[in-house]
Amino acid sequence: MKNVLVRLEEYLPRASGAERGALRYLLESPDSAVNCSIKQLAECTFTSASTIIRLCRKLGFDGYKEFHKALLCELAVKKETESEHKREIQREDGLDAIIQKVTYKNMLSLDNSRKLADREVLQKCLELLNSAQSIVLFGIGASLLVARDAYLKFIRVSKKCCFCDDWHLQLIHAQNTTPEDVAIVISYSGMTQETLRCAQTAKTNRTPIIAITRFETSPLAKLADYNLYVASTELFFRSGAMSSRISQLNMIDILYAAYVNQNYEECIRRISVTHVEKEGKDSK
């Protein structure tokens, strides 16, 4: 499902005078706007139905019907996420409650992220991965673990990757990127300064950037060429990344599986070649 609110915010600076009223109403009162027919929305924003239809198409939708469906789904996800923020682990929770809450939150994060997946954006990302000379991976903290997972996957199919645990070396990798590479930048908040500096450096080198980040406007989301969103199901002031990490790993799995699928014969051959036999009787 295509995201709506982010597209509205990104398009606002270059919108025409007639479009700005509709954009501001949609951004400031999305819950009211989603209940409007195209005629009602035009009346509320002092525009016309034809202006609304043209705006929807400029935002990448076939028409108002697809736009309305996407907005309805997005608002439902956001409301569900906001209600889940209140269901954090409490001091009095027992082990059974912790098992239930953590598992449910992870499942919710995966399902919400599935709803946010944009097929067209994923296809563009796959095209970049296929054509890139190398994949350069960036991430700090829990996102570093996700970057490492991506590295371990793509290296199995002989896709050249650059990855390093040390942030200073990540920055050097960023400084060495070229337009023929692709950077995958992972940050749940989209505001981690070290990661942003790497992304900005790669951007200066005209390296295409794929960001895996939360579904909110952030410095990283604005900087990236393509955003693969995960649901915002975690509070910023948390003891450790949990459901966000699961969703980020899931997005890496989707990218990897789709890449293997598009290069099936060669990837299966490389996976066989790079398989390491385990020693001992348990290896059978």
Rounded-to-integer distance, Cα 275 and Cα 107, Å: 31
Split at pLDDT 50, 70, 90, the class of 236 is very low
Cα-based angle 217, 220, 226 (whole degrees, multiple of 5): 90
Residue 239 has what pLDDT? 47
Tokens representing 85 are 């923020």
Output the average pLDDT for the chain.
87
Residue 119 has what pLDDT? 87
Tokens representing 252 are 């890496």
Residue 241 has what pLDDT? 64
Q: pTM for this structure?
A: 0.73
Tokens representing 261 are 């699928």
pLDDT in tens, 262-281: 999 999 999 999 888 777 65
pLDDT in tens, 34-93: 999 999 999 989 999 999 999 999 988 989 999 998 888 888 877 766 665 556 677 788
Percent over 70 (pLDDT), the chain: 90
Structural domains of the chain ordered from first start? 5-81 (1.10.10.10), 119-273 (3.40.50.10490)
Residue whose entry in the numeric block shows the structure tokens 């108002």: 64
Spatial strand order of the sheet with 182-186 comes to 161-162, 135-138, 182-186, 209-214, 226-230
Of 146, 222, 157, the closest CA to residue 187 belongs to 146
pLDDT at 235 over 80: no
Q: Which residue has the higher pLDDT, 124 or 108?
A: 124
- β-bridge mates for residue 255, sequence order: none
Average pLDDT of span 147-174: 95
Of 196, 216, 284, the closest CA to residue 78 belongs to 216
pLDDT in tens, 237-250: 454 567 788 899 99
Rounded-to-integer distance, Cα 222 and Cα 190, Å: 9
Average pLDDT of span 181-202: 96
User: Which H or E element spans position 51?
Assistant: helix 49-58
pLDDT at 118 over 70: yes
Residue 232 has what pLDDT? 62
Radius of gyration in angstroms for the set of CA atoms belonging to the chain, rounded to a whole number: 21
Residue 83 has what pLDDT? 60
CB contact at 8 A, 40 and 47: no
Residue 180 has what pLDDT? 97
Rounded-to-integer distance, Cα 74 and Cα 53, Å: 19
